[in-house]
């Protein structure tokens, strides 16, 4: 609707005093976040023509976010507010990206004190992109000594969790927010052998233990939705441990495409705060729901490089002659799923994954990306308009990483690294809205 200044404004609902709106002024797009009676303004240069942007201001903002090549980011008036946070099981920092964007929307300066992961190279990428003050290349479990007695509603700490190591001890009373993405392979529906019964699942409980030991003010934990079916009830246990130690909790599944994002990815979040109850994640999902954008919104107009190109982010993944023939069949027949006769012999007697060797539909969001997005045999990952696979950069954009985000560390970054980091990431839009549940407290 027009404002008094003549610009176009889109308002995305109001939830308990929280409202977000976008307006168009000249060659910039303006974001206005209202929290109660306070308003926080940020702006960024448009990367699409203004006549295109005016048709969907929300998508214009996020498209400009993705298209940013130099990490200029939105222009934000930071007040006196700042929050410190640490990123556990961090990988390269997809969750950090969404968390920090939400803080910017509210005029809050976010300071990443620490990232912890067993992947040393991922930590180097995290530090270079987020300017993380310190990284710790070890298991998160090595930072805290704790014992949990009972499960689910009966869970309790056997004794007060104790910090281990100088790095952890120096952070006590200095951390406002813990964000964490514990390993999800043990919970994934793709992992039929160890699903819901994997020793890594216990790592989930290190997060509430560290929240208590560090005296943190708030917590955001993300994982795959199937984590709630863990045989040891790690989610119910974590929530009980948090509530017993002064936290109010909201939990639930957030769907990226429900917020307008061009990928059908879903993650389960636990959001907790000591100050007051966080907003309901279900209410946020309902109030800020939008029609999903098509996959082409994020990956159109991208140049690719040959195999010997310098930037592997824009290189095409290799394909066998057989897979090239399968891709050509899809385009020659204007099809999006491969018939049985064109599939490998092991698939021709029946299979439960019809999307494998599939082509993405240009007018629909992408399917959930996995670490196998560079292979047609791992899912519906064939480009919707061109006879090829996605490049790592295109996949990164579908996961909400802007163009400025650098995954390369000289020659150390390999294709397998990119597949893991990008495929396992949390889309920044999900981190953004999960953090909105805490934005009043922050």
Q: Report yes or no on 338 lying in a domain.
A: no
- Closest CA relative to residue 155, chosen from 226, 228, 234, 210: 234
Q: Report yes or no on 52 lying in a domain.
A: yes
pLDDT of residue 72: 83
Q: CA 246: distance to chain centroid?
A: 27
Q: Is the same domain home to 183 and 235?
A: yes
Q: Is the same domain home to 57 and 128?
A: no
Q: Report yes or no on 394 lying in a domain.
A: no
Q: Is the same domain home to 18 and 116?
A: no
Q: Is the same domain home to 39 and 103?
A: no
- Answer with the one of 18, 37, 67 that is the final residue of a domain: 67
Q: Report yes or no on 127 lying in a domain.
A: yes
Arithmetic mean of pLDDT over the chain = 91
Query: Residue 244 in 3-state DSSP?
Result: helix
Q: Is the same domain home to 210 and 103?
A: yes
- Domains in the chain, number: 2
- Answer with the one of 19, 47, 67 that is the final residue of a domain: 67
Q: Residue 314 corresponds to which tokens in the numbers above?
A: 């824009």
pLDDT of residue 354: 74
Give the percent of the chain with pLDDT over 70: 91
- pTM for the model: 0.93
Q: What is the pLDDT of residues 297-350, one digit of tens each?
A: 999 877 776 655 678 999 999 899 999 999 999 999 999 999 888 888 766 665
pLDDT range class, residue 352, cuts 50, 70, 90? low
Q: What is the pLDDT of residues 382-403, one digit of tens each?
A: 999 999 999 999 999 999 999 9
Distance CA 282, CA 110 (A): 25
Q: Report yes or no on 280 lying in a domain.
A: yes
CA distances from 94 to 89, 237, 405 (A): 11, 26, 10
- Answer with the one of 16, 37, 67 that is the final residue of a domain: 67
Clarify whether 184 is annotated catalytic: yes
pLDDT of residue 189: 40
Q: Which CATH number does the domain housing residue 124 bear? A: 3.40.50.150
Q: What is the pLDDT of residues 158-192, one digit of tens each?
A: 999 999 999 999 999 999 999 999 986 544 443 43
Q: Is the same domain home to 54 and 109?
A: no
Q: Is a pLDDT exceeding 70 seen at residue 2? A: no
The single residue of 30, 122, 184, 442 carrying the catalytic annotation is: 184
Q: Is the same domain home to 148 and 41?
A: no
Give the percent of the chain with pLDDT over 90: 80
Q: Is a pLDDT exceeding 90 seen at residue 248? A: yes
Q: Is the same domain home to 88 and 129?
A: yes
Burial environment of residue 4 by CB neighbours within 10 A (0 to 12, 13 to 18, 19 or more):
exposed
Q: Report yes or no on 431 lying in a domain.
A: yes
Q: Is the same domain home to 47 and 155?
A: no
pLDDT of residue 96: 98
Beta bridge partners of 87: 115, 179
pLDDT of residue 355: 84
Q: Is the same domain home to 48 and 111?
A: no
pLDDT of residue 342: 84
DSSP-derived pairing of the beta strands 156-157 and 135-136:
unpaired
CA distances from 301 to 210, 304, 398, 407 (A): 45, 10, 14, 21
Q: Is a pLDDT exceeding 70 seen at residue 196? A: no
Q: What is the pLDDT of residues 63-74, one digit of tens each?
A: 999 999 998 888
Q: Report yes or no on 53 lying in a domain.
A: yes
- Domain residues for 33? 8-67
Q: Is the same domain home to 179 and 257?
A: yes
Q: Is the same domain home to 227 and 273?
A: yes
Q: Report yes or no on 390 lying in a domain.
A: no
């Amino acid at each position: 609707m027009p404002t008094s200044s003549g610009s176009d404004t889109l308002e995305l609902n109001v939830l308990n005093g929280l409202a977000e709106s976008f307006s168009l002024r000249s060659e910039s797009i303006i974001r206005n976040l209202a929290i109660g009676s306070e308003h926080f303004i940020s702006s960024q240069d448009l990367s699409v023509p203004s006549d295109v942007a005016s048709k969907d201001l929300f998508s214009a903002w996020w498209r400009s976010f993705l298209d940013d090549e130099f990490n200029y980011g939105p222009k934000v008036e930071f007040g006196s507010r700042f929050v410190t946070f640490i990123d556990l099981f961090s990988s390269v920092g997809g969750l950090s990206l969404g968390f920090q964007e939400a803080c910017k929307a509210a005029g809050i300066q976010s300071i990443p004190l620490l990232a912890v992961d067993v992947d040393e190279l991922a930590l180097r990428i995290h530090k270079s992109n987020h300017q993380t003050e310190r990284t710790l290349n070890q298991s998160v479990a090595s930072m805290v000594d704790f014992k949990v007695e009972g499960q689910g509603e009966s869970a309790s700490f056997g004794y007060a969790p104790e910090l281990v190591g100088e790095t952890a001890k120096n952070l006590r009373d200095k951390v406002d927010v813990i964000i964490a993405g514990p390993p999800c392979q043990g919970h994934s529906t793709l992992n039929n052998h160890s699903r819901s019964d994997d020793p890594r699942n216990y790592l989930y409980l290190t997060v509430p233990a560290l929240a208590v030991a560090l005296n943190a003010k708030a917590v955001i934990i993300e994982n795959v939705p199937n984590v709630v079916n863990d045989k040891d009830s790690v989610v119910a246990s974590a929530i009980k441990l948090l509530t017993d130690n002064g936290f109010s909790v909201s939990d639930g599944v957030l769907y990226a495409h429900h917020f307008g994002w061009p990928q059908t990815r879903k993650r389960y979040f636990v959001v907790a705060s000591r100050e007051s109850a966080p907003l309901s994640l279900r209410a946020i999902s309902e109030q800020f729901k939008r029609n999903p954008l098509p996959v082409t919104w994020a990956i159109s107009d991208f140049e690719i490089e040959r195999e010997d190109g310098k930037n592997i982010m824009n290189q095409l993944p290799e394909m066998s002659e057989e897979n090239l023939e399968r891709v050509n069949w899809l385009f020659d027949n204007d099809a999006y799923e491969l018939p049985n006769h064109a599939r490998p012999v092991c698939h021709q007697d029946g299979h439960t994954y019809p999307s494998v060797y599939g082509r993405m539909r240009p007018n629909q969001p992408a399917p959930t990306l996995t670490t196998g997005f560079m292979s047609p045999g791992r899912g519906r990952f064939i480009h919707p308009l061109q006879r090829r696979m996605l490049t790592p950069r295109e996949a990164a954009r579908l996961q909400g990483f802007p163009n400025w985000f650098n995954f390369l560390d000289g020659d150390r970054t390999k294709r397998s690294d990119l597949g893991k980091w990008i495929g396992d990431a949390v889309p920044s839009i999900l981190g953004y809205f999960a953090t909105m549940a805490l934005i009043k407290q922050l």
